[in-house]
Amino acid sequence: MSDLQMQEKYAELALRTGVNLQKGQALMVNSSIEGADFTRIVVEKAYELGAKDVLVNWEDDALTLLKYQNAPEEVLTTIPQWKIDKQLAFAKDGAALLSIRSTNPDLLKDVDAGKVAKAQKASAEAMKEFRKYIMNDLIAWSIISIPTGDWAQKIFPEKSTEDAKESLWEQIFKIVRVDKEDPVAAWDEHNQKLKDAREVLNKKQYTKLVFKAPGTDISFDLPKGHVWKGGSAKTSEGTTFNPNMPTEEVFTLPHKYGVNGTVASTKPLIYGGNMIDNFSLTFKEGKVVDFKAEQGLETLKHLLDTDEGSSRLGELALVPHASPISQSGLIFFNTLYDENASCHIALGKAYPTNLEGGSAMNDKELDEHGVNDSLTHVDFMIGSGDLDIDGVSADGTTEAVFRKGAWAF
């Protein structure tokens, strides 16, 4: 099968299984101009599936860098109302959202981290209402990635740009199951396996999980009524969709005031166009009280200082070390991929859907139930083949959940 045919299968998978586009529904796409050819395939397929309208929000790394290098801070921190209204208009119309993320991991490495942090905070504040549609699954949304030159060469530095992109395409096709004869059916089977795993954990209703590995010794209290999710999700209207492609995780939320101990990263984190690597965080009563990093310390500091909730956790995800992404032996420098190779946690906002009745609660009620709120939601990887996890039940009994990075059930 030709590369073009594989890309067509990938685009159709993203639309059918990713956002599950419905006839007569609008679609909003976020994409890089470097991926214009693939994006055009997505748009064509969307119209073939009956989309009433497709809006593409184009991004360009080169222009983004030029803006950070030359624009005054007041421009970087001012989000025009028309941009906010455009996003909200599509969300209120029930549009699906497909994000094609393929940013250069080192894009803003030479830009002042403080400037980047202020711009990202301003954007997050401006899009707060729009993010509610995502965080509460009010619309179908999905994130995928395609190769770009800078990203591919970061993974395969010894290869030419074109060879690196070709190698990355091969990895992506395999990891997202596009190489299967029927990718949609393969994803249905995969989603069922993740559903089986999350149902086991939902029945357990542990009060606490304890993680231990080299550099990591930390406990996470779990709120009463917490819900494990993973694989496919459902919108408030009942449409099934896959938020992340790939995905290998089952996840829930830790209690925002109940995290204690130290956790060490096991893969680099790309945040704000900068890399944070070999870092650790120490928590007390849910809040980061100390942190270290061999690379990207200033970027990490700005992330933690975004707001009160950015130094607390909003997600706890379990991923076996034997996941296909982990077994590839590659570091992708892309959170969508690296987080699905490893158990991970997220600084910042929790998904209200990870708590029974959470989507119907106001901010005060969510806080009372231990659900963290923040302008940020940043995943970072803490899993490895050495990770052990124990679950603590309400009666105080403890049982193995993970041993040496694998399910112990």
Q: Letter for the amino acid at 132? A: K
3-state DSSP percent of the chain in helix, strand and coil, to 5: 40, 25, 35
Report the interhelical angle of 183-204 vs 3-13 (nearest 10°).
40
The phi and psi torsions of 393 (rounded to 5 degrees) equal -85, 170
- What does the pLDDT read at residue 208? 98
Mean pLDDT of 175-196: 96
Could you tell me the pTM of the whole model?
0.91
- DSSP letter (8 states) at residue 21: P
Kindly state the tokens that stand for 171: 């990895």
CA distance 401 to 209: 9
- What does the pLDDT read at residue 103? 83
Higher pLDDT, 368 or 324: 368
Contacts of 273 (CB under 8 A, 6+ apart): 64, 103, 104, 105, 106, 107, 108, 109, 111, 116
Mean pLDDT of 50-65: 97
pLDDT in tens, 11-30: 999 999 999 999 999 999 99
pLDDT in tens, 79-111: 999 999 999 999 999 999 999 998 899 999 999
- What does the pLDDT read at residue 215? 97
Mean pLDDT of 181-199: 96
Contacts of 79 (CB under 8 A, 6+ apart): 122, 123, 126, 127
CA distance 296 to 61: 20
Q: Is the pLDDT of residue 186 over 90?
A: yes
- C-beta of residue 407 within 8 angstroms of C-beta of residue 220: no
- What does the pLDDT read at residue 1? 83
Mean pLDDT of 248-264: 98
The phi and psi torsions of 122 (rounded to 5 degrees) equal -60, -40
Kindly state the tokens that stand for 320: 């076996």
Where do the DSSP E strands lie in 95-149? 96-100, 141-144
Residue-range domains of the chain with CATH: 3-175 (3.40.1830.10), 183-407 (no CATH)
